[in-house]
């Protein structure tokens, strides 16, 4: 689940991890989003893997 911070101080948002049944896991990371036309090698229509 993505939570936008609405400020631009390097942190663009917070990603909270939830189970498939929407149960909260208590795990979250802060994210800075970058974009390019190339994209990520591990990206698909429904997920991405970033080792």
Q: Which two tokens stand for residue 41?
A: 């090698």
Domain boundaries, the chain: 1-51
Q: What is the pLDDT of residue 27?
A: 94
Q: What is the pLDDT of residue 32?
A: 84
By C-alpha distance, which of 26, 36, 30 is closest to 4?
30
Going by the DSSP 8-state scheme, the letter that residue 26 receives in this structure is E
Per-residue model confidence as pLDDT tens digits over 4-51: 777 667 778 888 999 999 899 999 998 887 777 877 778 888 887 776
Q: What is the pLDDT of residue 46?
A: 86
Q: What is the pLDDT of residue 8?
A: 65
């Amino acid at each position: 689940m993505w939570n936008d911070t609405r400020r631009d101080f390097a942190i663009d948002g917070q990603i909270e991890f939830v189970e498939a049944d929407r149960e909260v896991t208590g795990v979250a990371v802060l994210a800075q989003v970058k974009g390019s036309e190339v994209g990520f090698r591990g990206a698909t229509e429904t997920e991405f893997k970033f080792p």
